[in-house]
């Protein structure tokens, strides 16, 4: 039972991989974020990253189920 996580840009760089899995069969997107913050406390960018569940933007209260793909997309700046 696991949930797949995709990381982009600075999140991928800081964690050292693009895809990870966390144990769980059902939790909220906010709980997924908190789990990653506990596992990687040095990566505060999880707090400001947008989340998507199965390619649809998500809010903290949205439910993530086993087998779902959760993407974390940090804010981008540029000129």
Query: What does the pLDDT average to over 31-39?
Result: 97
pLDDT tier, 78 (very low <50, low <70, confident <90, very high otherwise) = low
Q: Any idea where the domains of the chain sit in the sequence? A: 2-73
Residue 27: which H helix or E strand, with range? strand 26-28
CATH class of residue range 2-73: alpha beta
For the whole model, what pTM was predicted? 0.92
Percent of the chain with pLDDT over 70: 96
Greatest distance between any 2 Cα atoms in the chain: 42
pLDDT in tens, 23-32: 999 999 999 9
Through-space distance between the first and last CA atoms of the chain, rounded to whole angstroms: 42
Average pLDDT over residues 49-68: 97
Q: What pLDDT sits at residue 75?
A: 87
In order of 15, 26, 27, 62, the CA distances from 31 in angstroms are 18, 10, 6, 10
Of the candidates 70, 61, 65, 63, the residue with the CA atom closest to the CA atom of residue 19: 70
């Amino acid at each position: 039972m696991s949930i797949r996580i995709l990381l982009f840009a600075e999140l991928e760089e800081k964690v050292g991989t693009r895809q990870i899995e966390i144990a769980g069969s059902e939790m909220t997107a906010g709980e997924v974020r908190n789990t990653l913050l506990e596992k990687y406390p040095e990566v505060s960018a999880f707090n400001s990253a947008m989340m998507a569940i199965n390619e649809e933007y998500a809010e903290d209260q949205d439910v993530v189920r086993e087998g779902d793909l959760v993407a974390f997309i940090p804010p981008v700046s540029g000129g």
